[in-house]
């Protein structure tokens, strides 16, 4: 074998491990109201954990506080453009207080399990213009108040445009949402729009607006939410995040605060 050929093969062989070791930037689902279009690389795992989540909803004399802990999401890269997801809320506590009746009721339950696939259609690393299709289904494993009470399903179509340190995201969705009484399903649809900023090499922030039209047989409603979130990545494979969502009309929860962690394996 000629010396030049041997030298070329040796150079390619030595470069291959370095090329294989170059991973995509971490692109977590958390935080925020929207969903990214990027997918996990084949053979990799990303685990996302909601450490604490508190939602307050006031409806006249009735106040409802919902506290969730251990909201886990496991994302598994199946191919270079396809990932599978399994999500479960470990525990949730719902407290309802009626100021007129003077009653307080509380219950602690586990949540439902959700399965999803995300198929990226363009730029699976989320760079430039990226788009994906994400069907999902939920299984009613949770208890009353935390779980929905019946199975549900839907489709999200995440779209993102990245230009330097600024990104724009859009997540339209259509859902077979569970009825409020936990028996049967109805049509719900809406979208989330947001803009994100890189504050530094390891910190980012996003502002979002969400609108959802819910055709529940018990009463139709339109939920409007504004969200602000921030994430900090101390290394290439992890992230800490916080966020807040504010209800903009009577049909929406008044306030939600949350924090979480993401780790890639």
Q: Report pLDDT for 142.
A: 87
pLDDT reported for residue 182: 92
Q: How many residues does the chain have?
A: 265
pLDDT of residue 86: 98
Average pLDDT over residues 14-41: 80
Domains, the chain, ranges and CATH? 25-264 (2.40.160.40)
Question: 63 pLDDT exceeds 50?
Answer: yes
15-24 long-range CB contacts below 8 Å, 24 or more apart?
23/236, 24/124, 24/125, 24/126
pLDDT digits (tens, 9 = 90+) for 112-162: 999 999 999 999 999 999 999 999 999 999 877 789 999 999 999 999 999
* Residues 75-84, mean pLDDT to the nearest whole number: 98
- E runs forming strands in the chain: 45-59, 62-77, 82-98, 103-109, 113-122, 129-139, 152-156, 159-163, 166-178, 185-198, 203-214, 221-235, 238-247, 255-264
Q: Could you give the CA distance from residue 181 to residue 217 in angstroms, rounded to a whole number?
A: 10
pLDDT digits (tens, 9 = 90+) for 80-121: 999 999 999 999 999 999 988 889 999 999 999 999 999 999
User: What percent of the chain has pLDDT above 70?
Assistant: 92
Contact between 94 and 57 under an 8 Å Cβ cutoff? The reply is: no
Q: Determine the average pLDDT of the residues in 201-208.
A: 96
Most confident listed range (7-16, 96-105, 226-235):
226-235
Q: Does the pLDDT of residue 207 top 70, yes or no?
A: yes
Distances (CA, A) of 171 to 36, 44, 111, 211: 8, 24, 24, 11
Q: Would you state the pLDDT for residue 2?
A: 52
User: If you average pLDDT over every residue of the chain, what do you get?
Assistant: 92
Strand partners, 186: 177
Is it the case that residue 211 has pLDDT exceeding 90? yes
In angstroms, rounded to a whole number, what is the distance separating the alpha carbons of residues 190 and 165? 27
Q: Residue 190: what pLDDT?
A: 98
């Amino acid at each position: 074998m000629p010396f030049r050929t041997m030298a070329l093969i040796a150079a390619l062989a030595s470069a291959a491990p370095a090329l294989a070791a170059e991973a995509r930037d971490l692109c977590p689902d958390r935080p925020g109201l929207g969903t990214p279009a990027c997918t996990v690389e084949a053979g990799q795992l990303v685990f996302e954990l909601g450490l604490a989540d508190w939602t307050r909803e006031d409806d006249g004399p009735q106040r409802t506080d919902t506290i969730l802990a251990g909201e886990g999401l496991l994302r598994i890269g199946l191919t270079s453009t396809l990932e599978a997801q399994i999500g479960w809320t470990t525990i949730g506590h719902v407290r309802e207080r009626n100021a007129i009746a003077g009653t307080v009721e509380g219950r602690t339950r586990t949540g439902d399990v959700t399965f999803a696939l995300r198929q990226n259609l363009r730029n699976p690393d989320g760079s430039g213009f990226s788009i994906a299709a994400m069907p999902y289904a939920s299984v009613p494993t949770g208890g009353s108040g935390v779980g929905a009470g019946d199975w549900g399903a839907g489709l999200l179509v995440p779209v993102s445009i990245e230009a330097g340190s600024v990104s724009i995201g859009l997540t339209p969705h259509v859902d077979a949402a569970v009825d409020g009484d936990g028996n049967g399903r109805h049509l719900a649809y809406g979208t989330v729009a947001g803009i994100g900023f890189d504050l530094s090499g390891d910190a980012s922030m996003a502002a979002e607006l969400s609108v959802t039209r819910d055709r529940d047989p018990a009463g139709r409603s339109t939920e409007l939410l504004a969200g602000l979130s921030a994430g900090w990545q101390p290394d290439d494979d992890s992230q800490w995040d916080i966020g807040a969502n504010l209800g903009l009309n009577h049909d929406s929860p008044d306030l939600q605060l949350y924090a979480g962690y993401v780790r890639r394996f």
